[in-house]
Structure 1
Amino acid sequence: MRMCSRQERIQKDVNVVIQRCKAEDECLFSNFRYADATFMFTYSQGSRRISYSVNVSDDYPDNTYVSNSENADDGLITMDPIPVIFQKIASEMKPNDATSDCPSDCPSFEKTTDNDSEEVHSDGPEEEEDSEEENDYYGGQEENVDDENQKHPQLEADLQAVRDLKGAHAVSLREYPGFDDVDINLHIDVSFLDEETALCWGVIRQEPVTIRLNCSLAQYLGGTVPKVDVFQVSIQKDRFGLGHQIKKIMQTFVTEQWGEQGEQGEQGTVLSLAETPTPSRFNFGFKTSDTDAKSVPDRHRGFLVQAIEYAEKRIPVLNEFCVICDEAHVFLNGPMLRPYVCETELCIFAFQTLGVMNKVTDVIATGAQVVDLLLSMARAALVSCRKDLIFDPYPSVVDPGNPEKLALDPKSKNYDRVSKAFDSLPRIQQMTQTAHSEMKKQMDTVDNLSLPLLQWVISSNRSHIAKLTADKQLEFMHTPHQFLLLSSSPAKEAKFRDARKTHGSTFLFHGSNIENWHSIMRKGLVVASNTKYQLHGAAYGVGIYLSPTSSLSFGYSGIGGYGMQSASQNDNNTAKNKEGQGLQFLKSRNLKCIALCEVITSPDLRRNGTIWVHPNAEYVCTRFFFVYEDGQTGDPNINTQDAKIYDQILKVVTSRHHATKT
């Protein structure tokens, strides 16, 4: 039996449905058509007609989308093959219910049947299907498989190696009777990620990340290179951004390794677990170098174990590599938390033109206050007299009219053009109520760079910032604008936790003018002492300056949102705000921002009255962020070393961890 492709299997499944309907005396389904990866048919009963569409994906039968004309906005994503989908639809449409209206709680499969035409329209060749093949899907006798399609012995050995090393839950298999085709699902445990990282990366840490390899059942490593897919069952695929990065990494790995392993498989050498030493468990908390992260694990335990261990090495440090080219980022102050694209033009083009950032409206809808804040920070840096230093990074935005050119280029900075695009942005409130396509149309009419710039501001943020609900806020800070702020990479957090066990930790404020936070959100808190970024001297030595008292940090945050410019400049900007980019939540441009950091109380932490200095940036992690409008600073007498204040902070931290876990 020749090997059947996935497309051939789809066509076969379509024909199973068609032949079944032809065999029925009174079938209420007709107008069968298969084109452009969509199987369509119509149900007719009396005056009622319902059109159904079954849209198949590249990883069919997974991620098949079923919809109908009666409930066009209420589709269903399923993992069932087409005959099973059709059977469910048909079973819901019973003859005695055919004329009744669909109840409000009717499943998204909805009803279907048709009695008119026996003519079948399909882009592919129509095949006669016997009843035995139909029974494969409807509980009948299973079709015999030729010897050619028997499972390759090396595949069975590799599967057993995974079960022995990682447990039976670490791998599953789906075979397709009559086809030399198999889906190998490798389930990667990601529970090692801490709650904050999982939240930031959009991962469900209690659920494995599945890496699927679709390959030949009979030839296995001797066949063609598998197609790789990556997903978490509970997350819609187009919203699992991390999955795209893992998929690129694993497809490259499989492509490079499959040939070597294939030669072993061709020789008929079945490797057993007993022939190899037991591997050591990967230390997820250890910061790996570029070479370590990309090094290929020992392959003597079989290809599947090798693939799992490679994935286990790569996932904890995804933030350290470009999401497009997979080259290591070059960080001055160590990696940040959120994965992002590198600064090479080819990667920027790919990132912005391949639709990666098209979900900007979703971000605004769910985090409008955060978008507000990011825009305020960017504009503050842009109008500062220090913009050459602190409006960093400068936007990299592809020209909408010429996708091979950068309209905003860090190599040729044009601050006036960026300012013009900012001034053209609509009000955040308007954005939250407008669909992406309509918003794009409106913004392009005014300035075709305003939407790409907004997308860049959102996507280039490498910290995780989220508005705190009222019950998770620190009441003594006296502002409704309170945010969770996390910027440390998983490796830094792991090192931080180890240091906390040894030295303990405390909470201290860090104040800085809002214009500086555009860069801090993307590069982290840095030791600016004795560098061009230093503003206030280094009287107490080199390090990050912090304080247990709010009054001191409020002072360092600056008198106004644009403390470096004149009052007349600020008035002009306020006028612009009324005409252009209006802020829904932060109604003022005169903002103060301070962060509450957790700091390791190691011996090198220097205490000088209310000024504390830590020379090691690895031992300072942001936790909370507070914003004040119109120059209001809240209570200047807060001291984090006060027992009552400290207990309240710990209570919020503990409740936040608990809420994330549940």
Structure 2
Amino acid sequence: MDLPSADLMWSFFVAAVNSYRRDMVTRPFPSDFIDKSGEKNFDKLKETTDRCPTLTDVNRNSHKCDSSLMELMKLVLNPRSYTLKRINMEELREMHFELLDNNANPDFAFEVVHSQINDEKFRCLKGTSKSIFAFHGSKLENFYSILNCGLISNLNKVSLYGEGIYLSNDLRIVLHYSPSGVGWRNSIFGSSLSCVALCEMIDHPDVKCNTKSLSGEDGACNSQSTTQNSSISRRAKIPGSEGGEIPEKYFVVRNDDLVRINYLLLYCPQSNVSLASRITKNFVSRHKFLIVMLCYSMILIIAGVANSKWFKN
């Protein structure tokens, strides 16, 4: 796994540990931090995560890190259901050009690579049905549990149009549901982050929406997700909905198995510099003495060469 992906996964976990809703958002909970009585030891868990240096330092000095921290990091960074892979924004834009708003460009993008078992399960359920792509917004502290356990409709607090998982094909709408949250202070991305999930839904009657949301009008939908209206029954009303029909650009998924996260869009409001610059800055700040000594040595070498008889001749 690449360093940025591991850093983001650890940042999600730290955000969950420090949340006031930690009992809910730290699922799956590390078994090593459950007491004999069955109680979750959040104080010990937080103390352990607080001791974590940068991932660069962990890789370089893993033998110096305490065993409890290393075991915890192995668990968090090696989930069974998925892994992350950083991708270039241009790659994502080529696949979902019409979905990505030029006015809301993320700083980084990551692909969620699902396990073979989960991928086959989703593809089998999908069959020959169409795919619909849309965004899901959530607080930073929720993403550890979301990535490990999936999107779960009964945990969603938004229910104006009925119970379900809420998505939209308008990125600007979803950003309101993804406020900046405090992550990990040693992250190469900075401690303040915002994340949006780009999801794939199976075109099914349990994916409630206004059919205009699927028409691709005004560039709202990606060409891959555009479906002929004649093949879709009108399904914009959920029984018991307080808000009436589901408005355009919104989707409400009533069956958790019909949706999965394919990509993560990361926003880093604290800094506008590139990831490479951030890594370099982090390295320089932690190795100032070494860098100064190297520069001093280079100056002495250059001065020595310049004053040598060989150079003068």
TM-score (normalised: structure 2): 0.64
Give the 3 Å change call, closer, same or farther, for CA 377–419 of structure 1 in structure 2: same
| 8 A Cα contact 1:590 1:630, kept in partner | yes
Tell me which residue corresponds to 1:600: 202
Q: Give the AA of the match of 1:393.
A: P
Cα root mean square deviation, aligned = 2.6
| CA–CA distance in structure 1, aligned partners of residues 34 and 207 of structure 2 | 45
SS at 2:52's partner residue?
coil
| CA–CA distance in structure 1, aligned partners of residues 65 and 174 of structure 2 | 39
Q: C-alpha deviations, 1:523-564, integer Å up to 9, x for none?
A: 111112xxxx3333x12112211111112211111x2214xx
Shift, 1:505, TM fit: 2.1
Give the 3 Å change call, closer, same or farther, for CA 408–424 of structure 1 in structure 2: farther
Structure 1 gaps, min length 5: 1-365, 398-405, 563-572, 633-662
Shift, 1:426, TM fit: 1.7
Shift, 1:494, TM fit: 2.4
Shift, 1:410, TM fit: 9.3
Give the 3 Å change call, closer, same or farther, for CA 621–534 of structure 1 in structure 2: closer
Q: C-alpha deviations, 1:490-514, integer Å up to 9, x for none?
A: 342222430xx24x22211011111
Q: 1:583 aligns with which of 187, 197, 201?
A: 187
Tell me which residue corresponds to 1:450: 69
Tell me which residue corresponds to 1:439: 62
SS at 1:411's partner residue?
coil
The one of the two structures with greater contact order (alpha-carbon pairs below 8 A, sep at least 6) is 2
- What is the percentage of aligned positions where both structures have the same residue? 25
Tell me which residue corresponds to 1:497: 126
Aligned length: 224
Runs of 4+, deviation exceeding 6 Å:
406-410
Give the 3 Å change call, closer, same or farther, for CA 507–534 of structure 1 in structure 2: closer
Is 2:138 the partner of 1:512?
yes
Tell me which residue corresponds to 2:83: 464
Give the 3 Å change call, closer, same or farther, for CA 613–534 of structure 1 in structure 2: closer
| 8 A Cα contact 2:17 2:42, kept in partner | yes
Q: C-alpha deviations, 1:417-463, integer Å up to 9, x for none?
A: 1111111112112234x2xxx412x112xxx4211111121123522
| CA–CA distance in structure 2, aligned partners of residues 516 and 408 of structure 1 | 24
Give the 3 Å change call, closer, same or farther, for CA 548–471 of structure 1 in structure 2: closer
Give the 3 Å change call, closer, same or farther, for CA 619–410 of structure 1 in structure 2: farther
| 8 A Cα contact 1:396 1:456, kept in partner | no
Query: What are the equivalent positions in structure 2 for 1:113-192 lying under 5 Å apart?
Result: none
Tell me which residue corresponds to 1:382: 17
Tell me which residue corresponds to 1:473: 92
Tell me which residue corresponds to 1:560: 180
Q: C-alpha deviations, 1:155-181, integer Å up to 9, x for none?
A: xxxxxxxxxxxxxxxxxxxxxxxxxxx
| 8 A Cα contact 1:511 1:593, kept in partner | yes
Q: C-alpha deviations, 1:63-107, integer Å up to 9, x for none?
A: xxxxxxxxxxxxxxxxxxxxxxxxxxxxxxxxxxxxxxxxxxxxx
SS at 1:467's partner residue?
strand
| CA–CA distance in structure 2, aligned partners of residues 470 and 546 of structure 1 | 21
Q: 2:7 aligns with which of 339, 356, 372?
A: 372
Shift, 1:409, TM fit: 7.1
| CA–CA distance in structure 1, aligned partners of residues 28 and 114 of structure 2 | 16
Give the 3 Å change call, closer, same or farther, for CA 620–555 of structure 1 in structure 2: same
| CA–CA distance in structure 2, aligned partners of residues 511 and 631 of structure 1 | 20
SS at 1:596's partner residue?
strand
Structure 2 gaps, min length 5: 94-99, 210-245, 272-313
Q: C-alpha deviations, 1:273-321, integer Å up to 9, x for none?
A: xxxxxxxxxxxxxxxxxxxxxxxxxxxxxxxxxxxxxxxxxxxxxxxxx
Query: What are the equivalent positions in structure 2 for 1:4-403 lying under 5 Å apart?
Result: 366-397=1-32
Q: 2:156 aligns with which of 534, 537, 562?
A: 534
| CA–CA distance in structure 1, aligned partners of residues 263 and 131 of structure 2 | 15
Q: 2:257 aligns with which of 595, 601, 618?
A: 618
Task: Return the index of the structure with the highest Cα Rg.
Answer: 1
| CA–CA distance in structure 1, aligned partners of residues 17 and 81 of structure 2 | 19
Tell me which residue corresponds to 2:277: none
Tell me which residue corresponds to 1:549: 170
SS at 1:545's partner residue?
strand
Larger mean Cα displacement after TM superposition, 420-429 or 485-494: 485-494
SS at 2:136's partner residue?
strand
SS at 2:78's partner residue?
helix
| CA–CA distance in structure 2, aligned partners of residues 490 and 443 of structure 1 | 35
Q: Give the AA of the match of 2:197.
A: A
| CA–CA distance in structure 1, aligned partners of residues 207 and 181 of structure 2 | 30
| 8 A Cα contact 2:109 2:263, kept in partner | yes
| CA–CA distance in structure 1, aligned partners of residues 196 and 270 of structure 2 | 13
| CA–CA distance in structure 2, aligned partners of residues 384 and 390 of structure 1 | 8
| 8 A Cα contact 1:606 1:612, kept in partner | yes
TM-score (normalised: structure 1): 0.32
Tell me which residue corresponds to 1:6: none
Give the 3 Å change call, closer, same or farther, for CA 490–507 of structure 1 in structure 2: closer
| CA–CA distance in structure 1, aligned partners of residues 160 and 36 of structure 2 | 38
| CA–CA distance in structure 2, aligned partners of residues 522 and 599 of structure 1 | 18
| 8 A Cα contact 2:34 2:40, kept in partner | no
| CA–CA distance in structure 2, aligned partners of residues 492 and 410 of structure 1 | 36
| 8 A Cα contact 2:85 2:113, kept in partner | no
| CA–CA distance in structure 2, aligned partners of residues 614 and 407 of structure 1 | 34
Q: C-alpha deviations, 1:586-635, integer Å up to 9, x for none?
A: 12x22111111111222332222232112122221221111111279xxx
| CA–CA distance in structure 1, aligned partners of residues 147 and 51 of structure 2 | 24
